[in-house]
Structure 1
């Protein structure tokens, strides 16, 4: 779904949701505390804006960070300490660019920092990490720029037609400008827009951006910070490559909505590849999915987004957004048939995935969106159709509607977390040899003008 933009959601939830007691969203302190993965000492001193980094906890919604100039006495690992000189709970990545020059005015200096993971209800998932000693000589950083995190084309699940860009913000930023280029920039640390710019967008403070444009070919992306009046703060970040070259002839494509696009647990998007079932597959894929898709949107964009790549096999999973919004199962089934026929017409073998259950209460809590009263019957009807086709039963490892998807598999009730995506990937891997053998007989659904007219005349989600 297009509104699954994690930082908007996290900020809304963070400031508006009341902590609710109970087991639904509470995690016991069973996770190990975070630990620093980058260290600064006298032989490798930090600048006046050091980047603090620690291991990722995929159950964390956000982190709390404390900085001290001295080690407090009787320091508890279970709660913040009033002697800190800096504290923030607006940390949604396992990294933070610390505005040390605003905290410590004399260099060189030594500070101590620690961090802990938090859940959706502001309860700690872990104790605080051990105090990490940091030495800074106050030197100027190599560049005053955001640091890109998302890095595509680096292994299974990392090739996305619709990229999501993620970065570590630099201090003082109020907005960000994302720029997509047709070629690598001429120099690093540029202040001005590139001559190769094909797209740019200014957004309010965030750490990520969902590209609305399918990136077919080779591109580069970068980002820079802006103040509230859109004046640059520093320079553009280093540019990162996006390579979706159709000439690479991907054998397997994935086509769907946000569940296939990737992301989950509120604070993780498709750029966090462990939240994509494609990451766990035994074979490479190109992910042609787009967050926010309905079944009608998938049908409409098929020709433009799938045909340039013409994979031999196309894994199709979609329509959860349609069904939970009350779009009839019959329209979804007809849409799946249209997609299957489009595949057959273009020598592509469609492989359908069944839809895991959802959790309407969790969807309401996180997104403040209602779910259709008929969702369970409609999910079951669509899955019943899918099971008559060449398919992989990815729903089989989860409860069957009307049983809801447990919170441990999807915090927001819709987007499956990393553990559930691993289960899906394992199910696909085990079924893949069998499914390939089943693909012998092509089906033809003889979808006529009347059926197409009915499909497009039935209201879509965004028509309601």
Structure 2
């Protein structure tokens, strides 16, 4: 299993945690050189992006576009005369090449959400006018999602670069730069590049902690690595290294994301976004309790938090690591906190759903995970803690 998909798995562990608590592998290949004039000549045209409200229970969505609203319209059945249909939309937005749609107006669209098993979650949305809902652009480039630095829970030490893919792109290259890129068009790398990676997904988890001011952008490619369009406009991220009163430290449950298709850039799935005080998110998806011990000095101490909210151990216990080892790791994190004047606040571990994990990722879960979770949570409840597992006490496992 590739790193990106393991992080999808890690995010999947939080499938239903946040609503209850708070209420691609990287592909490396050589891109064939193509002259910019070739691409730009082919790409002239108008593009549009449709966006609709997030369904927090959806894994994917279906979008259909049609010329007329049928008299016998049904909310539970597709329209046979639809001129466009996409059943594999994994964000709440879709970029369209308007040249491929009829010029006559009006056009209408509607959306239906699906669960992990491919079953509809409720009916189609009400038909809506495409033109009034469309964000138009002449730029054939992915559209970045830019939630960072815009309210509670939006400062992440380990950023995730998310975007809406552009038409005909099947792969994406993400570039991070130390300064604003000097070349806003085309597909050549910036002289300020400090990191780049490729993926087939519409988000990329950065392996490196990022502080200070930096920029990121993304471009599409086809299956052979040839450019599809050009770079998106650069997005600025500022991660101030200053004194933070509260920091959050953990794995994907704290990093953010859920329902397989949503990541930390989707702040609705981040419990930090519901806090009424500022915090910095120092979590990293996929972390074990041992990994949290190892990166403490590098990732926690530079921010000098007064309080550290700690939620870790789920990935370790799911893999069969003994509860005693996880407890030992948590004690070591507590010790390091106190040694540096930080108040550690442990958080109990909500249950997981092994069936969903197996179904989505073909990853087994240790048979004795429930007893291990109980043992670790018993230790945590004897310390200064927040009982995030309390809402699930009567549940055998995390609900779907």
Is the TM-score greater than 0.5?
yes
Equivalent residues in 2 for 1:167-186, closer than 5 Å: 167-186=163-182
3-state DSSP class of the match of 2:47? coil
Instruction: Report the counterpart of residue 213 of structure 1 in structure 2.
Output: 208
**Which of 380, 388, 404 matches 2:396?**
404
Distance of 2:4 and 2:326 partners within structure 1: 19
Instruction: Report the counterpart of residue 230 of structure 1 in structure 2.
Output: 225
Instruction: Report the counterpart of residue 156 of structure 2 in structure 1.
Output: 160
Equivalent residues in 2 for 1:428-447, closer than 5 Å: none
Change (3 A) 1:116 1:404: same
Give the number of aligned pairs.
Answer: 364
**Which of 262, 285, 296 matches 1:291?**
285
Distance of 1:8 and 1:95 partners within structure 2: 23
Higher-Rg member (1/2): 1
Equivalent residues in 2 for 1:292-311, closer than 5 Å: 292-311=286-305
Shift of 1:255: 0.7
Change (3 A) 1:87 1:5: farther
Can you list the C-alpha shifts for 1:374-422, whole angstroms capped at 9, x where unaligned? 212211111111122221221122126xx42342xxx3xxxxxxxxxxx
Gaps of 5+ in 2: 13-44
Kept in 2: contact 1:2–1:292 (CA 8 A): no
**Which of 370, 379, 387 matches 2:381?**
387
Kept in 2: contact 1:143–1:189 (CA 8 A): no
CA RMSD of aligned residues (A): 2.4
Distance of 1:388 and 1:240 partners within structure 2: 44
Instruction: Report the counterpart of residue 456 of structure 1 in structure 2.
Output: none
Instruction: Report the counterpart of residue 66 of structure 2 in structure 1.
Output: 68
Equivalent residues in 2 for 1:101-116, closer than 5 Å: 101-104=99-102, 107=103, 109-116=105-112
Instruction: Report the counterpart of residue 275 of structure 2 in structure 1.
Output: 281
Shift of 1:257: 0.6
Shift of 1:6: 4.6
Kept in 2: contact 1:151–1:240 (CA 8 A): no
Structure 1's consecutive aligned runs of 4 or more residues displaced over 6 angstroms after TM superposition are: 7-10
Gaps of 5+ in 1: 11-46, 412-464
Distance of 2:356 and 2:325 partners within structure 1: 26
Structure number with the bigger relative contact order (C-alpha 8 A, sep ≥ 6) is 2
Distance of 1:305 and 1:229 partners within structure 2: 38
Kept in 1: contact 2:250–2:283 (CA 8 A): yes
Is it true that 1:272 corresponds to 2:270 in the alignment?
no
Instruction: Report the counterpart of residue 251 of structure 1 in structure 2.
Output: 245
Distance of 2:10 and 2:316 partners within structure 1: 23
Kept in 2: contact 1:9–1:366 (CA 8 A): no
Equivalent residues in 2 for 1:14-163, closer than 5 Å: 48-104=46-102, 107=103, 109-135=105-131, 141-163=137-159
Kept in 1: contact 2:10–2:286 (CA 8 A): no
Shift of 1:108: 5.4
3-state DSSP class of the match of 2:63? strand
Change (3 A) 1:7 1:146: farther
Is it true that 1:313 corresponds to 2:307 in the alignment?
yes
Kept in 1: contact 2:10–2:252 (CA 8 A): no
Instruction: Report the counterpart of residue 239 of structure 1 in structure 2.
Output: 234
Instruction: Report the counterpart of residue 36 of structure 1 in structure 2.
Output: none
Distance of 1:97 and 1:7 partners within structure 2: 26
